[in-house]
Structure 1
Amino acid sequence: MWDPEFFNIEPSHIEPGYIAIEGTISNPNMKCPLINVYAPNLCNKRQELFSDLASIILRVKLPVLIGGDFNIMRCSEEKLGVSIQKNAMVAFSKFINESNLIDLPLKDERFTWSNLRDPLSFSRLD
């Protein structure tokens, strides 16, 4: 799947909602924690996930690459054609800020996904 001479996987942790992998990039011999997220749709379950992820991120004490489908947007500009969950957006932003994460901007596009149905819905999936 990948070249083990470039990236060597060490311990991994699989839970409902995420897979956390720690590995080492061979050159320049740098540890690289990765977390792939598929968050639940239920707000209380998503909040539990954010709490678990924050614990991992703060415990690792290394830069962490985290991405996936968080099933929530950070601000209303990230979604078009659907209702907004203001409290959930605030909780997601709080998780990002308290975990010292950086929300990378998109280049040249506002959205990364569309349902391609009527009514149209657009989202930014990270």
Structure 2
Amino acid sequence: MLGLLETKREVITKYDVTRIWGSSAVGLEFVESVGAAGGLLLMWDDLFFQKRNCYKGERWLCIEGVLTTMKFHCALCLVYGAYGREGKRVVWEELSYIAGLCQVPFCLFGDFNEILQVEDRKEVNSLPATAEEFKEWVQDMQLIDLPLSDRKFTWFRGQSCSRINRVLINIKWAEKVPDIRLKGGPRGLSDHCPLIVEDARVRGGPRPFRSLDSWFTHVGFLRMVKTEWRSLGDAPFPCKLKALTTRLKKWHKDNFSDMDKRLMMFEDEIKKLDTMDS
């Protein structure tokens, strides 16, 4: 399951999502942006999750269905918190209603635009009124705030740092999946760090094949692919794909190795700054 906030898209098509996901076996639901502001998108692997229902609000997107590998009936809700006090209250009330409507184990995740404790914001000595209300709502809903395993803050802007991105699960979810953990991914050029939820019992499998948009703008890319594919003749399709992948790695190194180094350098600099602020 992958959730994206601030898509800034009024319409999102299956073609758009297939390009992001890398496969046509992907399901999607979205909340359109208002002009170039906002927008939410949920994507999932159709082989592992079967959608039953979908509910939408201006600042949240909820899908109810079954995780087929576990036969786990659940609901997942992507949240993009409001800014003003009244707007936040409206979002929390709507989420309470949806959780009660679904009556299944549920997980709320995203940018709640609010802290839960003093330690969630740099150089803060007391909780603002909206944070106290958010804390009361979390307690009333009997939600569990998954702890971050590798960082303190998730949002950075100048000297300001906060943990406003989080994952909240109810007790039923925790009982069904007790070994989940939450970590933050590299934030790249964004103000926010992505959140990654993992089952601690699951070990990673083979890495999926990925492409870069920059490949398709390179003048020699398509010519190289056609030449390599034809040179493989009548070999079985999986063998041709494997051989082409090997060739693509070499071609990428020959043409984009400098870009990889520069991106890694920028990511390292961002990580150092995040560590200093944490």
Are 1:110 and 2:152 matched, yes or no?
A: yes
Match among 74, 81, 89 for residue 47 of structure 1? 89
Q: Is the Cα–Cα contact under 8 Å of residues 64 and 102 in structure 2 kept in the other structure?
A: no
**Once the two structures are superposed, what CA deviation does each residue of 1:13-39 show, in whole Å capped at 9, x if it has no partner?**
121110011121112211120010001
Structure 2 Cα separation of the partners of residues 84 and 45 of structure 1: 22
The one of the two structures with greater contact order (alpha-carbon pairs below 8 A, sep at least 6) is 1
Structure 2, unmatched stretches of 5+, are: 1-25, 27-43, 167-278
Give 1:82 shift. 7.0
1:98 corresponds to which residue? Answer: 140
- Kindly tell me the number of residue pairs found equivalent between the two proteins: 123
Structure 2 Cα separation of the partners of residues 41 and 84 of structure 1: 19
TM-score normalised by structure 2 residue count: 0.42
Give 1:113 shift. 2.4
Q: Is the Cα–Cα contact under 8 Å of residues 58 and 99 in structure 1 kept in the other structure?
A: no
Match among 158, 161, 167 for residue 122 of structure 1? 161
State the identity as a percent: 28
Match among 48, 57, 77 for residue 119 of structure 2? 77
Letter in 2 for 1:101: L
Structure 1 Cα separation of the partners of residues 125 and 63 of structure 2: 34
Give 1:103 shift. 0.6
Kindly report the root-mean-square deviation, in angstroms, between the aligned alpha carbons of the 2 structures: 1.8
Q: Is the Cα–Cα contact under 8 Å of residues 79 and 111 in structure 2 kept in the other structure?
A: yes
Structure 2 Cα separation of the partners of residues 72 and 98 of structure 1: 17
> Segments of 4+ in structure 1 off by > 3 A?
81-85
Give 1:4 shift. 1.2
TM-score normalised by structure 1 residue count: 0.87
1:27 corresponds to which residue? Answer: 69
Structure 1, unmatched stretches of 5+, are: none
Instruction: Classify the secondary structure of the residue corresponding to 2:145.
Output: coil
